[in-house]
Amino acid sequence: RDDKRMEAMRAALAFFAPEVTVLTFPAWDCLPYDRASPAHSVSAQRLATLHRLQATPDGPQLLVTTINALLQRVLTPFRIRESVRLFRPGMEIGRESLISLLRRQGYSRTDTVADAGEYAVRGSIFDIFPSGLDRGLRLDFFGDELEVLRLFDPNTQRSTGTLDEHLLLPASEALLDEETVKRFRGRYRELFGANATSDPLYQAVSDGRRLAGMEHWLPLFEERLVSLFDHLSAEDAMLIDSAALGAADERLSDIADYFHTRSDTTGSSPGSYRPLDSGALYLTREELDAQLGNWPIHRADMFSQPESATVIDFGFANSRDFAPERARGDNAYEAAARHLHSVARSGRKALIAAYSTGSRARITSILGEAAGPAPALAESWQEALGLAAKGKPVALVLPIETGFANAELEIVTEQDILGDRLVRRKKRRKDADAFLAELSALTPGDLVVHTDHGIGRYEGLQSIPVGNSPHDCVMLEYAGGDKLYIPVENLEVLSRYGSGEESVALDRLGGEAWQKRRSRLKERIREIAHELLKTAAARALRKAPVLATEESAYHQFADRFPWEETDDQERAIEDVLADLADGKPMDRLVCGDVGFGKT
């Protein structure tokens, strides 16, 4: 139904059936009829999967996709095969020929390769971040001869190994060569008239340049497009989610709405958005139904149905939910530990699934203290089954939301114990006045940080026409000269860059380097948070002697204090006494300046 469920399915399949090759085919991560292109990483994944489907698999292979991706037309199998280029040491290719090839295939030239779809040239070395690889490819030439093919880490730029050969895939589905440019120009004029030749899109393609969002006119570049079904074999079996067809109707309705919105605002002036009819890039519902009729379809339904010649019941049900314990305020961990040991004693395999290694360590520690012994740890599904067969609960890292059970096993998830995961909304609104104060101190050329796009250069305030009225915007410049305009009412997404600016590189609009840096930092923060939670949970379960004060003796002692306590001192004393009487180990630090009465 969506990319989130597709990725969850891929991760689950990789865990439960590691012997199966799982391919994913995501939809574009931009809206229909958008002015933005799909991310390089998304296009790379799509093209890599389409190319893999052309080859005979070495073993079992499974393709996972979404209804949004299935509805979109794609390049033909022949076009995919002819657009690749094999590189191996000893071959010869001229420098300008290679640059021309990379440009045609949709790669963007940068100073340093950080994202998928980029390339850089440094003397006789070409660095490329190609489709289908999670690392960069480094081509080392001697003259026109390719001497060495190396892999490198885009984060450190260090080489990590060598390759005997590599099949280079395009970085974009919109390929720019002499034939596609000629075809686009003719069809664009035919559809939109001679006045449209002044449009930035028409001008850019005519010059062999790429323009953001040009993929939405993909049908004009290609002789014909096909569906994903045309890349499959007639022998392939197909499994479809029971809610997928309903999602298809919603998607087609959204596409129609976007098309009508664009059509209603299309003008005759150069630069107007001239949308293609939705049937040019997307399948109709009739086409989808006709394609589905060509394959034996298996439908996955979460609701129980009577078993028959066409219905197979796999015997699974939801696992134990600990919501009643949470509602009563009981210790859900103790209830979960007792339940898991009960399942294990009954002869079934008892397993607990955690979202991450850190949360697994925290949960197993707490379960062990609540009603030991602690669950064993397993790193694979087969190892988990083997350990669970010995009659002991087993904990594994498996990021699924709800557990399941059958006659042989039961998996309880972290969410079953704790309830729905708390997902905090991003704080979209900060004190705009604070940034306005910073803005007044900024000068053109200063660096600022956008929460979604990373580091850019502030170029000043600019008024741009929106509809029939001017609108004040902050203009930012990013790598490659790309401009981003932020309406003044959305300044909460900006903050001033706080470090030294001497060697700071601007981020690229639509790139992933900024998101990767944020992701690494978030992961580190998450690890620290897990450790803090683990410590707090362990402390909450420990007991300590209750040390209550004897009122008369305490007051006699306190009366000997020759000064009157300040409010802060009084509060610190009360907190410490409350800790001592709480029956839990105390962990408190009294802070204060020298000479201000800590003792």
The per-residue pLDDT for 430 is 43
d(CA 518, CA 512): 10
Parallel, antiparallel or unpaired: strands 21-25 and 61-65: parallel
| CB 36 within 8 Å of CB 212 | yes
Q: What is the CATH number of domain 432-511?
A: 2.40.10.170
Q: What is the dihedral of CA 266, 269, 270, 273, to 10 degrees?
A: -10
| CB 352 within 8 Å of CB 363 | yes
- Please name the helix (run of DSSP H) or strand (run of DSSP E) that holds residue 58, with its range, or none: none
CATH 3.30.2060.10 boundaries in the chain: 85-168
Q: Is the peptide bond before 200 cis (omega within 30 degrees of 0)?
A: no
**Amino acid identity of 62?**
L
d(CA 292, CA 298): 11
The answer for residues whose C-beta is within 8 angstroms of residue 142's C-beta and 6 or more apart is 124
Parallel, antiparallel or unpaired: strands 404-405 and 317-318: antiparallel
Which string of DSSP letters, residue by residue, matches 425-476? PP-----HHHHHHHHHH--TT-EEEETTTEEEEEEEEEEEEETTEEEEEEEE
| Block mean pLDDT (10 aa), the chain, length 599 | 85 90 93 87 89 88 94 94 90 92 87 85 91 87 93 88 90 90 94 87 89 92 94 87 89 92 74 88 94 83 73 83 84 87 91 87 84 86 92 90 90 85 45 52 82 87 74 85 82 74 73 80 87 81 80 64 75 86 82 75
Q: What is the CATH number of domain 317-418?
A: 3.40.50
d(CA 326, CA 72): 45
The per-residue pLDDT for 431 is 45
CATH 2.40.10.170 boundaries in the chain: 432-511
Q: Which residues of 445-472 are buried (b: 16+ CB within 10 A; e: fewer)?
A: eebbbbeebbbbbbbeeeeeeeeeeeee
- Give 410's strand partners: 350, 405
d(CA 587, CA 14): 43
CATH 3.40.50.11180 boundaries in the chain: 3-79+223-299
**Amino acid identity of 344?**
A
| CATH 3.40.50.11180 is the classification of domain 3-79+223-299 | yes
d(CA 316, CA 321): 15
What superfamily would CATH give domain 85-168?
Penicillin-binding protein 1b domain (3.30.2060.10)
The answer for residues whose C-beta is within 8 angstroms of residue 266's C-beta and 6 or more apart is 272, 273, 274, 275
